[in-house]
């Protein structure tokens, strides 16, 4: 039987963000933008959605005079990603 896929993670960009954050302790906005190829506006919106769901934590700071946004995955986000992958396997295996 097919298991339900988390609609929040079923977006290509949000899934890419989560996949990147799983492999690093934290990542800044510039890194995520480079790796995903997303526009700044779209990336910002998707980061907000993941943050509102509690899947990632977002910290804003300054590096010198430049603003810096960093993201890290939360335990809730890890669980959601793990469940998503397990459920996706029911479709392909």
By DSSP bridging, strand 27-28 and strand 56-63 are: unpaired
Tell me how far apart the alpha carbons of residues 89 and 84 are, in angstroms, rounded to a whole number: 9
CB 72 within 8 A of CB 56: yes
pLDDT in tens, the chain (93 residues): 888 999 999 999 999 999 999 999 999 999 999 999 999 999 999 999 999 999 999 999 998 898 899 999 999 999 999 999 999 999 987
The third-level CATH classification (topology) of the domain covering 12-92 is Arc Repressor Mutant, subunit A (1.10.10)
Return the pLDDT at 1: 80
Tell me how far apart the alpha carbons of residues 76 and 82 are, in angstroms, rounded to a whole number: 10
3-state class of 69 per DSSP? strand
User: What's this model's pTM, rounded to 2 decimal places?
Assistant: 0.92
The domain segmentation of the chain, as residue ranges, is: 12-92
């Amino acid at each position: 039987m097919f298991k339900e896929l988390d609609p929040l993670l079923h977006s290509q960009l949000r899934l890419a963000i989560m996949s990147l954050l799983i492999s690093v302790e934290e990542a800044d906005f510039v890194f995520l933008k480079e790796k995903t190829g997303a526009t700044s506006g779209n990336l910002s919106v998707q980061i907000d959605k993941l943050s509102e769901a509690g899947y990632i934590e977002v910290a804003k700071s300054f590096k010198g005079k430049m603003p810096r946004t960093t993201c890290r995955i939360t335990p809730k986000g890890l669980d959601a990603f793990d469940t998503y992958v397990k459920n996706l396997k029911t479709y392909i295996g």
